[in-house]
Amino acid sequence: MSEKKTLFLPKHNVGGALTGSRPDLSVRPSRSEQPLPTVDQSVTLAGMTMKNPVVVASGTFGFGREYNQFYDLGELGGICAKGLTLHPREGNPAPRIAETPMGILNSVGLQNPGVDAFIAHELPFLRQFDTRVIANISGNTPEEYGIMCQKLSQAGVDMIEVNISCPNVKAGGMAYGTRPELAAEVTEVAKAHAGAVPVMVKLSPNVTDITVIAKAVAEAGADALSLINTIRGMRIDVNTRRPILKMNTGGLSGPAVLPVAVRMVWEVSQAVDLPILGMGGVAKGEDAAQLMLAGASAVAVGTALFADPYAPLKVRDGLTQLAARQGLSQVSQLTGGVLPWN
């Protein structure tokens, strides 16, 4: 994203930093123009079957309402909803999005209406679609994670993604994701309150060795792992000498982080025996295939949505075509298929 592009951002993500305008609605390339080869697109993530391996990443899709103007949300394998907290949050002051070469920095800071409002107003909307609904939660304390898990499991989400990796909040957030004992504690509490709903823990890339955290979380009972969250970064306006983001620093996402995500998925897949939802910079089928070959069972598309709301469908179709070209009958056969040199 080095050139100026029109970004499409759900309204609660923008915070005044960018005025996203909508792409032309008369163009609806949601379905591929060419018939897709007969490859089974379905995958399973911690016992949860999905019609295809492409989900949308938390915080980049709101609660789906804006994107539903473009296509039937039932075309997606799953929707990771915007990160929820126990109580509503305003998020951080603007500017909170900054463009960078090959990506964006964000410091949105978990703006959301709170878990109860999600259950009352957003979950019924999402439930209309034939897709998996994954709730993403962040707490200030392990107890808050537990309360949210209880509420969400009773409300009937398909999976809970426990975010222990948000770089943009002061309390909790990334602190849990960078210390193995705290990551394990949050996982245990989440599992104890989630009933039969699978718990997927979202790991931070802002660590020296991600496998240490992955192992701690696996031992604490996680059903799946998702990675990566954003990588901490900073931009400075050299004329004003002010950081571009009001919070000074933010989290980097987009194409720039894909190689880091592939490397971390590969390392984690060798370290623990848990299914992985891979994400970070996925914009096309080949990107998703890299994460799957590295060990991911499914992939999430995030920042690519801001330039192209149809990105997840293009990733899905590109992945299917790639699998067909390689003579596979199932997309899931890509998982873990990398042939390392040694």
Ligand X SMILES: Cc1cc2nc3c(=O)[nH]c(=O)nc-3n(C[C@H](O)[C@H](O)[C@H](O)COP(=O)(O)O)c2cc1C
**What are the residue numbers of the active site?**
166
Pick 166 or 289: Cβ nearer ligand X: 166
Of residues 123, 186, 197, the one with CA closest to residue 153: 197
The Cα 277–Cα 295 span in angstroms is 9
Give the shortest CB-201-to-ligand X separation in angstroms.
10
Alpha carbon distances (Å) from 295 to 31, 129, 255, 272 = 27, 28, 19, 11
The Cα 142–Cα 290 span in angstroms is 34
Pick 39 or 172: Cβ nearer ligand X: 172
Give the shortest CB-57-to-ligand X separation in angstroms.
3
Give the shortest CB-64-to-ligand X separation in angstroms.
14
The Cα 274–Cα 213 span in angstroms is 13
Q: Could you list the residues that contact ligand X (CB under 6 A)?
A: 13, 57-60, 82-83, 104, 106, 108, 110, 136, 163, 166, 202, 229-230, 253-254, 257, 279-282, 301-304
Pick 160 or 257: Cβ nearer ligand X: 257
The Cα 321–Cα 284 span in angstroms is 11
For residue 276, whether the previous peptide bond is cis, meaning omega lies within 30 degrees of 0, is no
* 3-state secondary structure (DSSP) of residue 224: strand
State which residue has the least CB distance to ligand X: 59
The Cα 213–Cα 162 span in angstroms is 14
Pick 187 or 230: Cβ nearer ligand X: 230
Give the shortest CB-327-to-ligand X separation in angstroms.
28
